[in-house]
Homo-oligomer: A and B are copies of this chain.
């Protein structure tokens, strides 16, 4: 398996585009994106578990019910959520894209991100469809990635090349997400494409399994968005024997998918709103995977841990505190904690109690951009990892005045 460039255009037969159509005021910011497969593709998706669901999710769910799709239309600047006319607008967006591409509106997935509760005006989107399709290209993944950015500071792309029975396949994705990130069975907007041939059923199985250890383990602020959606399209143009069951090739495909989603997770967390550091919490020695995940996520979700990491303060008591309230059955008298980064590793807690450590080394370790909080529960063999970021002045600034 090899990491490559190209994002959603890394796989054969996928074009992408992104333009500024006017949903957002800043004219230099792309706000409308499109991903198109040269031929109909198998499709699968996972969606937010928030009871408040954006209208685009409802419409995408309808359109993907047959396990097929050929295009994804997406916009930033407005989430099209909590609007009375939301579903009508989302369906109209699919119709606009279908007309322009000469495909059925029912083969278009639609996604929106931005402010909640303000009507989404169709006018700029209708006017933007022509320049958008004109921008379609086999190496324009970045344009689409930019079109879905909101408070994101970097465009997020990842791709891999892998072999299935001697056939070279590709899988790549783009993601957006920076705030309101605490996915539950899904995540922010993530679009993944592959030229591998995979049945709709196995595609859904792969995606639903993968998100449990990837996007569902990311949190920026504990707020589960109304518009979280991950969509994957598989157009089969690589020419491999189609994957239709959980055999050897499915395992290889899962590995390819996981390599791309893990990379996107790290990008999402590291680019959390206002973040200066990526936090990873590796939990080992758990009695079972559920406990490992609960502990890892509690640590990276704790406001106090996040603020301490911003201050490069080795305040491990807050890590223990988070483990204690997370709800997992943990013997806190057995817990070890260490902080690690490119600058080194420092053990701070053994068997639930503090041990002497070099404050100087701890400071060096915590001043790095990527911090690993290592928690050993010493109670079993299960492990997990969660991704988050520090809590900073800029998070407050960004969210104290996002809407106006």
Q: How far is the CB of A352 from chain B (nearest CB, A)?
A: 6
Chain B residue at minimal CB-CB distance from A225: B321
Decide: B304 and A52 in contact? CB cutoff 8 A.
no
Q: How far is the CA of A392 from the CA of B393 in the complex (A)?
A: 8
Q: Would you call A320 an interface residue if the criterion is a C-beta within 8 Å of the partner chain's C-beta atoms? A: yes
Q: How far is the CA of A289 from the CA of B308 in the complex (A)?
A: 36
The listed residue (B84, B117, B308) touching A400 by CB distance below 8 A is: B308
Q: How far is the CB of A322 from chain B (nearest CB, A)?
A: 7
Q: How far is the CB of A392 from chain B (nearest CB, A)?
A: 6
Q: How far is the CA of A52 from the CA of B49 in the complex (A)?
A: 31
Decide: B82 and A50 in contact? CB cutoff 8 A.
no
Q: How far is the CA of A258 from the CA of B115 in the complex (A)?
A: 40
List of B residues within 8 angstroms of A225 by Cβ = 321
Q: Would you call A364 an interface residue if the criterion is a C-beta within 8 Å of the partner chain's C-beta atoms? A: no
Q: SS class of chain A's interface: helix, strand, loop or mixed?
A: loop
The listed residue (B115, B117, B308, B349) touching A82 by CB distance below 8 A is: B349
Which A369-404 residues have C-beta < 8 A from chain B? 391-393, 395-404
Q: How far is the CB of A367 from chain B (nearest CB, A)?
A: 13
Q: Would you call A303 an interface residue if the criterion is a C-beta within 8 Å of the partner chain's C-beta atoms? A: yes
Q: Contacts A179-B304, A307-B396 given: A49-B325 contact, CB under 8 Å?
A: yes
Q: How far is the CB of A289 from chain B (nearest CB, A)?
A: 19
Q: Contacts A83-B353, A392-B396 given: A325-B115 contact, CB under 8 Å?
A: no
The listed residue (B51, B321, B398) touching A330 by CB distance below 8 A is: B51
